[in-house]
Structure 1
Amino acid sequence: MSTVPNISLNNGVEIPQLGYGVFQIDPAETKDAVLQAFEVGYRHIDTAQMYGNEKGVGEAVAESGLDRDEVFITSKLNNNAHDPEVAAQAFDRTLEELGLEHVDLFLIHWPLATVTNFVETWGAMEDFYRSGRAKAIGVSNFQPHHLNRLHAETTIPPAVNQIEVHPYLTQDEVRAYGAEHDIATEAWSPIAQGLVLDDPTIVRIAESHGRTPAQVTLRWHLQRGDIVFPKSVTRSRMEENFDVFGFELSTVDLADISELNRDHRTGPDPDTFNKIP
């Protein structure tokens, strides 16, 4: 079984660089999917209140037989819970759904900057962290100007920023800000919902290494320092996505893939997305 490297966050918490995401997995299928992921070797699970499947993740953790400290669990605050009092209630529900005394990482899912005050929300996040019920806290889909506000107006810096990143959206500016301020970058939609898998450059590099386009794309992320958590409910695809540590891309390979950037998003623009369910 491959050994997944850890990345040390800015508060010393260690996070596995490769995880398993449960976005869009049916709540009824989540427990079995996560149990399969554990069998493959994944020990980092990324969920969210918005996904509606925290309970299945918790059931899988309970049934896996793994010690709690062997598993890294991330969840995220829903868009309708930015008010600090509501956020506190939502966080309590997350722990209840997961059946855990703490999460390893808890994120604000979207900044919603034109309709909420995410700085006030971050104050609640700091409370979760200080209580020990969130071992690390961070944000998702934050742009540099959002992060600048947190830096100027709050005490505890985000440990991570989870953003859409893939070869067609390399996010150089946001990643550079994170590197400068010791905020780790997590990449959601790491293969652009499959869009990059037929790209001639990625196919060529994959063939040269005897690997699949998905493996090459994930390897590009890992060598850049991104934390990734691809999603699949298919066992063979889970195994394929996990088998990315037995080869290395060259400097030229990395540059060729990065040059594919076209600032193409598969999801919403954080500066305009303000949907509150």
Structure 2
Amino acid sequence: MAPGSFAEYTVVPAAVGTPVPALKPEYLALLVSGTTAYLSLKELGGLAEGKTVLVTAAAGGTGQFAVQLSKMAKCHVIGTCSSDEKASFLKSIGCDRPINYKTEDVGSVLRQEHPEGVDVVYESVGGAMFDLALDALATKGRLLVIGFISGYQSPSGLSPVKAGALPAKLLRKSARVQGFFLNHYLSQLRAAMDHLLEMCARGELLCKVDLGDGAPGGRFTGLESVFRAVDYMYMRENTGKIVVELPHSVNSKL
């Protein structure tokens, strides 16, 4: 969460260190992805029993937590993904309706199965998916933007959306679109992390990590494999949070 993250070693103030019960890669998934899902849904989502939640990139690093936390709130959860294997994973963590966007048209599914719209969207893809999610909002619906991976590789770093119609669409439904950036909620990070760790310890929350075993070139091991891990993410091949393993040295516990 600081400049210089792609390094074998880094120095941070003790005050921002996060204690974890053990050296497990699963806990890495909680630090940014888990807390983003937890805090954005808690502070902005307005989740309540019976509401419908759409999670885009639902089998990814943060989507997996949005699915599980929404189910814990007794919501009906829809999740988009890119393969049947990911759809099976989503079902295993409680997603009521996985949508494989490579075999089904997301917009058509939402219109047919949820003609009244969805109450909350947890959106991390951007571009065309943002437009679909916006159109799918119910009256007084909320669209939370926590990322836009479809635009990360563009020269400007922006993901194009049809913003010209945005005011009219929001007005017509009394809907809202709001961004969430974890750095603006750092005062709540420690408490959120502690809560998520407790949920993991009780077996209530699954932290899925992808170490790259199925990636071209195999498992992501060593700093030199970071570029493969990033490409793997952009190809949308990962299930869960991508983790690169760095070899331990004799001083790694210092």
TM-score normalized by the length of structure 2: 0.32
TM-score normalized by the length of structure 1: 0.30
The structure carrying a bigger helix percent of its residues is 1
